[in-house]
């Protein structure tokens, strides 16, 4: 079968991007010479996707945007060169389809910007009070359930809003996500503007493809589910609708209190009906704007947005949170195939997931992924669960891909299994993280492996190093966020466990608090919950349904309360030291620059 790869179009180093880099390079030199004040430079740095690390000095995190998660072989190779030359030899996929690299020295950042620009990438507005990376479902254009391929729509949104004057000094960050169907693998339901492809029946009985747009969702310390703006948004109205949401946010967001500045707080202040009225009114008058984005964007018209379609007969792989993954074989290839291959697209192609533990990819793996992509001629996306997805494969290429992934250490069956633990960077590098979330993620994964629970399907575990939910702990079956604890007169690392987070069917159920735990007891708590879920769930039952059936978070927490105990420092000194640390725990954090991807 001939497969035509869908790869991101190369974006040349434009005059605008060149000016961005030159201006930033000059600002770096002025800042280091003491000619620009810290607060002014911070704004410029963040708007250019550069985030200060807790290590201080000139250590920086560089965040690279990948609209819709699309990535090419040349981009993989450039990332490999950059992390080898300027970082630690590996990069990190975020929950927003970015790639981050750490410990880049401030005076070398312009060199990184130029290197990635040559392959069509940018850090512009990856941080700061801007329109962040525009996300899309990692199966967009390759999903048997989708109503539309939202890939070109996400690209169009990225192109319209990057460097757009409307998005440079917002009250707070603004996030846009696209999903191709109500399964919502793109997580539209907790974003400022969440777009879900839909279909309605016209009066004459014909079908019209369009969207359902959701507004003012968010995670953080106070999660809010997004609200439906209108029953149906026509394709030609989508871009004006998103811009109208952004304009209302710019006009009404709280610029005096960063903690209550997101779009979700606009709803709290104005009420939903008034916010909705303003958005629709702005959209009505938007054609008078010199930058009106109405109609079908050129990139959509050129690429097309027809859905992949289901096969009329044959197996269609279920997708989304809580899918009933079953391992029916001990053969390594078959286990990987059963968990990581998605079938059912009308044109007969398949997709497969390459597992990146903790979202980390070494330079050797970046180069290996580039070689595989070229060999197979496939389209590749980064997923919001920090993995790499190969799409547009024919059946003969599936075992070839598996063999190549074995060679680079990315062939573990991880998709939708308990071992696929998601974590933010945590106190390893983040200014405001309280705990070493990455260390806990590894510890949980190790314990699940040791107890034979790593391949339990249909349960997601997410971890954040603080309440801000960069690790999306509110949206997972089992979630943890870091917090300082006091025990025996000492400070100690701890976590709040949440249970029952679920995103799908145009709904958002956020995880509910179960109990607090010492950090060193959290792996055992996770393992107990996974073990009990595996033993007690009914056929096809999702975690949320099981949780409600057995009495909810508090009932499950009752079986874990013995773990909420700090031994004395003499009995167990490791309880007072965080993962990957050697000295006593300290809950001190730096000034927030909002690392949330």
In this predicted model, what pLDDT tens digit does every residue of 338-364 receive, in sequence order?
999 999 999 999 999 999 999 999 999
Which uninterrupted H or E stretch holds 103? Answer: strand 99-105
**Same-domain check for residues 470 and 539:** yes
What CA–CA distance (Å, rounded) separates 3 from 349?
8
| 582 lies in some domain | no
Are 174 and 131 a contacting pair, CB within 8 Å?
Answer: yes
The 3-class SS string of 234-300 reads: EHHHHHHHHHHHHHHHHHHCCCCCHHHCCHHHHHHHHCHHHHHHHHHHHHHHHHHCCCCCCCCCHHH
- What confidence tens digit (pLDDT) does each residue in 405-463 have? 999 999 999 888 999 999 999 999 998 999 999 999 999 999 999 999 999 999 999 99
Residues across the chain:
597
How many domains are there within the chain? 4
What CA–CA distance (Å, rounded) separates 450 from 117?
44
Instruction: Give the three-class secondary structure for 315.
Output: coil
Q: What is the pLDDT of residue 5?
A: 42
**Same-domain check for residues 427 and 399:** no
What CA–CA distance (Å, rounded) separates 146 from 198?
9
Q: Which residues have a Cβ under 8 Å from the Cβ of 43 and sit 6 or more positions away?
A: 128
**Same-domain check for residues 486 and 347:** no
Could you tell me which of 107, 122, 82, 136 has the C-alpha nearest to residue 29?
A: 107
| 341 lies in some domain | yes
Are 556 and 514 a contacting pair, CB within 8 Å?
Answer: yes
**Same-domain check for residues 364 and 504:** no
The mean-pLDDT minimum among 3-7, 189-193, 425-429, 593-597 falls in: 3-7
- Global pTM? 0.95
- Which of 407, 437, 460 marks a domain boundary? 407
- What confidence tens digit (pLDDT) does each residue in 96-143 have? 999 999 999 999 999 999 999 999 999 999 999 999 999 999 999 999
**CATH number of the domain bearing residue 95:** 3.90.480.20
Over range 295-299, report the average pLDDT: 95
What CA–CA distance (Å, rounded) separates 431 from 419?
27
Burial class (CB in 10 A: 0-12, 13-18, 19+), 398: buried
What CA–CA distance (Å, rounded) separates 480 from 583?
23
| 502 lies in some domain | yes
Strands 422-423 and 461-464: parallel
Joined together, the tokens standing for residue 91 give 């990069």
Is the pLDDT assigned to residue 306 strictly greater than 70? Answer: yes
Residue appearing with tokens 């859905």 = 307
Is the pLDDT assigned to residue 6 strictly greater than 70? Answer: no
Alpha-carbon 589 to chain mean position = 24
Over range 196-221, report the average pLDDT: 96
Is the pLDDT assigned to residue 587 strictly greater than 90? Answer: no
Over range 259-276, report the average pLDDT: 97
**CATH number of the domain bearing residue 512:** 3.30.413.10
Are 402 and 337 a contacting pair, CB within 8 Å?
Answer: yes
Q: What is the pLDDT of residue 415?
A: 86
CA distances from 7 to 189, 298, 352, 365 (A): 27, 17, 16, 19
Q: What is the pLDDT of residue 356?
A: 97
What CA–CA distance (Å, rounded) separates 221 from 587?
18
Q: Which residues have a Cβ under 8 Å from the Cβ of 301 and sit 6 or more positions away?
A: none
Over range 468-497, report the average pLDDT: 97
- The residues pairing with 51 across neighbouring beta strands, listed in sequence order, are 61
**Same-domain check for residues 555 and 489:** yes
Dihedral of the alpha carbons of 294, 295, 299, 303, in degrees to the nearest 10: 150
**Same-domain check for residues 28 and 166:** no
Q: What is the pLDDT of residue 56?
A: 84
Q: What is the pLDDT of residue 12?
A: 52
- Which of 377, 407, 437 marks a domain boundary? 407
Q: What is the pLDDT of residue 313?
A: 78
Burial class (CB in 10 A: 0-12, 13-18, 19+), 164: middle
The mean-pLDDT minimum among 268-277, 305-314, 404-413 falls in: 305-314
**Same-domain check for residues 345 and 429:** no
Domain around 507: 422-576
Share of the chain above pLDDT 90, in %: 90
Instruction: Give the three-class secondary structure for 316.
Output: coil
What CA–CA distance (Å, rounded) separates 358 from 421?
7
- Which of 380, 407, 434 marks a domain boundary? 407
| 198 lies in some domain | yes
- What confidence tens digit (pLDDT) does each residue in 167-184 have? 999 999 999 999 999 999
| 414 lies in some domain | no
Q: What is the pLDDT of residue 312?
A: 85
Q: Which residues have a Cβ under 8 Å from the Cβ of 156 and sit 6 or more positions away?
A: 239, 297, 298, 299, 300
| 586 lies in some domain | no
Give the angle 387-129-240 at the CA atoms, nearest 5°: 85
Joined together, the tokens standing for residue 596 give 């949330």
Could you tell me which of 363, 360, 356 has the C-alpha nearest to residue 76?
A: 363
**Same-domain check for residues 461 and 505:** yes
Dihedral of the alpha carbons of 585, 589, 590, 591, in degrees to the nearest 10: 180
Over range 76-80, report the average pLDDT: 98
**Same-domain check for residues 150 and 299:** yes
* Position 11 confidence tier, pLDDT thresholds 50, 70, 90: very low
Q: What is the pLDDT of residue 332?
A: 95
For the chain, give me the number of helices (H) and strands (E)? 16, 23
Could you tell me which of 512, 517, 425, 421 has the C-alpha nearest to residue 462?
A: 421
Burial class (CB in 10 A: 0-12, 13-18, 19+), 256: exposed
Q: Which residues have a Cβ under 8 Å from the Cβ of 30 and sit 6 or more positions away?
A: 36
Q: What is the pLDDT of residue 594?
A: 57
| 310 lies in some domain | no
Joined together, the tokens standing for residue 406 give 């074995």
**Same-domain check for residues 298 and 149:** yes
Strands 207-215 and 227-228: antiparallel
| 299 lies in some domain | yes
522-536 and 437-450 helices cross at what angle (nearest 10)? 50
- What confidence tens digit (pLDDT) does each residue in 28-63 have? 999 999 999 999 999 999 999 999 998 888 999 999
**Same-domain check for residues 451 and 351:** no
Computed over every residue of the chain, the mean pLDDT equals 94
Joined together, the tokens standing for residue 313 give 């007969």
**Same-domain check for residues 237 and 263:** yes
């Amino acid at each position: 079968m001939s497969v035509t790869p869908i790869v991101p179009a190369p974006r040349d180093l434009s005059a605008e991007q060149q000016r961005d880099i030159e201006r930033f390079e000059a600002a770096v030199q002025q800042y280091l010479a003491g000619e620009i004040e810290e607060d002014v430079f911070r704004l410029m740095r963040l708007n250019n996707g550069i985030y200060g690390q807790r290590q201080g000095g000139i250590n920086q995190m560089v965040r690279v945007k990948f609209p819709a998660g699309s990535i090419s072989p040349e981009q993989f190779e450039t990332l490999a060169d950059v992390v080898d030359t300027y970082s630690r030899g590996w990069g990190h996929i975020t929950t927003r389809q970015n790639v981050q690299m750490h410990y880049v020295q401030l005076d070398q950042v312009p060199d990184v910007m130029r290197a990635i620009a040559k392959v069509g990438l940018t850090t512009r507005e990856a941080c700061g009070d801007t329109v962040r990376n525009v996300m899309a479902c990692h199966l967009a254009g390759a999903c048997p359930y989708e109503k539309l391929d939202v890939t070109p729509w996400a690209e169009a949104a990225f192109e319209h809003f990057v460097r757009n004057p409307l998005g440079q000094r917002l009250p707070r960050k603004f996030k846009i996500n696209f999903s191709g169907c109500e399964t919502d693998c793109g997580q539209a339901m907790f974003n400022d503007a969440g777009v879900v492809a839909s279909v309605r029946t016209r009066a004459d009985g014909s079908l019209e493809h369009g969207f359902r747009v959701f507004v003012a969702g968010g995670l953080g310390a106070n999660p809010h589910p997004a609200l439906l703006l209108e029953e149906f948004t026509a394709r030609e109205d989508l871009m004006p609708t998103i811009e109208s949401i952004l304009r209302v946010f710019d006009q009404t967001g709280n610029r005096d209190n960063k903690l209550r500045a997101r779009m979700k707080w606009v709803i709290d202040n104005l009420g939903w009906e008034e916010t909705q009225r303003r958005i629709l009114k702005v959209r009505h008058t938007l054609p008078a704007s010199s930058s009106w984005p109405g109609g079908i964007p050129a990139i959509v018209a050129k690429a097309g947005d027809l859905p992949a379609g289901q096969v009329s007969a044959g197996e269609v792989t279920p997708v989304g949170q809580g899918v009933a993954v079953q391992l029916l074989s001990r053969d390594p290839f078959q286990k990987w195939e059963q968990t990581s291959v998605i079938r059912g697209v009308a044109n007969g192609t398949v997709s497969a997931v390459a597992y990146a533990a903790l979202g980390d990819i070494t330079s050797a793996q970046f180069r290996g992924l580039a070689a595989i992509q070229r060999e197979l001629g496939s389209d590749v996306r980064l997923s919001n669960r920090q993995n790499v997805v190969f799409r547009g494969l024919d059946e003969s290429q599936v075992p070839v891909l598996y063999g190549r992934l074995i060679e680079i250490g990315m062939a573990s069956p991880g998709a939708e299994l308990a071992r696929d633990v998601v974590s933010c960077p945590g106190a390893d590098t983040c200014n405001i993280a309280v705990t070493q979330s990455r260390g806990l993620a590894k510890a949980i994964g190790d314990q699940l492996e040791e107890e034979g629970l790593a391949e339990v399907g249909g349960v997601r575990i997410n971890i954040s190093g603080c309440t801000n939910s960069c690790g999306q702990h509110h949206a997972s079956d089992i979630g943890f966020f870091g917090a300082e604890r006091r025990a025996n007169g000492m400070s100690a690392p701890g976590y709040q466990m949440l249970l029952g987070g679920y995103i799908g069917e145009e709904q958002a159920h956020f995880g509910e608090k179960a109990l607090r735990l010492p950090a060193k007891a959290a792996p055992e708590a996770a393992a107990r919950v996974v073990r009990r879920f595996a033993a007690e769930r009914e056929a096809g039952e999702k975690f949320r349904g099981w949780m409600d059936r057995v009495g909810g978070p508090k009932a499950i927490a009752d079986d874990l309360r013995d773990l909420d105990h700090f031994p004395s420092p003499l009995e167990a000194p490791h309880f007072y030291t965080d993962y990957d640390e050697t000295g006593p725990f300290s809950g001190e954090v730096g000034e927030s620059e909002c690392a949330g991807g």
